[in-house]
Chains A and B, each alone.
Chain A
């Protein structure tokens, strides 16, 4: 009998979860609003770093130019393309979920997660290039020379961004790929897919500004 009662509480694949005091349309709207509020705090977190970048650049313009040209432009441009493509597949995953195509969600989020790995590998290669010249993050030493101001902020911003890449990959797996493998989503319920895609787009959005600031204009 108890197993029967438990079954009554289980949500059939494709159906929205039971949320008390809320119909599913309200729950969907509220979830999206909450996600955007969270994204606003994320943008403000990076806003402070962008502002400190602007101040440091204003004070050390020449050193920033020189240091910026020492970054690997090809690696940066390649990573930009990788993130833009992964953002595209994340957007497609939402459309697939809305059409009830759970396989499409798995494939497209899978590609996005793979792109996240490629991004981190390239970023790791760039860090190792710098480390090769004795410029380790958070370890202050003489080899930084004129680049210390630029590299300090470079490591902070790209490091925090890389952390967001990792979180985004985990989120897309837990709320996208794993439930989709169980055919959880349908045109009636796909909120977690849309919210995790929003998070991944934010990661892309930050990089859209980081790439020209760090690699191109310095």
Chain B
């Protein structure tokens, strides 16, 4: 199996961009990634495009050049971007092609995402009666977790405050205004215990990554970043998941736990080796839970770790250094590639004001979302 290197990353800022289409944002992200890799679009041998809103992300090639390459569209819930990355890497690992692009792009309407519950395996009445909300699931999950492991409301506020503070250092972020823990905890309750400023917002944006066979990477760059592992998992019987009318009493772990273990195994490293972390923070509670689900601490240790500043950019466990979903929002198809973009910048030492000190060598990214799907990627210098 061939090893895979990341030789270029590109990002269209996340936020709101008027009439600008997701395809235009996607094309800009690809051009930027190709520029970063020092290649042209015509050098790209294949691509995967991820999007929640676009039926045919393939149309982005109309803006980049009609070179005839295979272009595959993917959608896999909130793990869409991790899926595009995983599949792009797999094609290179298999030896089928040497150089490919993973791109994600989306343009969501403001407010919580919605759809037909039947498409998510729920009955149609699940929507009529007011159950079909991801935010409500996250409220239930963190409420129980806080009860079981002694996590405070203030900790949720601190997670969101860190997100906004890091977002203020990131010119590509959507929300760049720092907020106090008190204002976050005291803002409008949406789904107890989660308040307005503890949630990310669906928004707009695009991100792209150029991958190539690791043994060719030095042809293009002096600073290749190696993609050491990619893993995707769906939910098992016993996991309490988004958009479920029921849950088994005999509990099993979330798909994140399984994806994380598989990725560590594939990379041959453990959580103690990771220097920069990107976690799915759909809400502040999700970041807290995901710290433990991805092996960075035991359940309950987050309370003290976060109070001590461990997850800050200069802490021992820097989490969501670019502001995460809380500051960047979530264009679903692009979100996981935004994480990879940030990790690559950090591992190259190009993260500017938000650079993690101490020459970080290993980065970790996790996605999780409806209907209970997770993706983990591990990168290293």
A and B are interacting partners: no
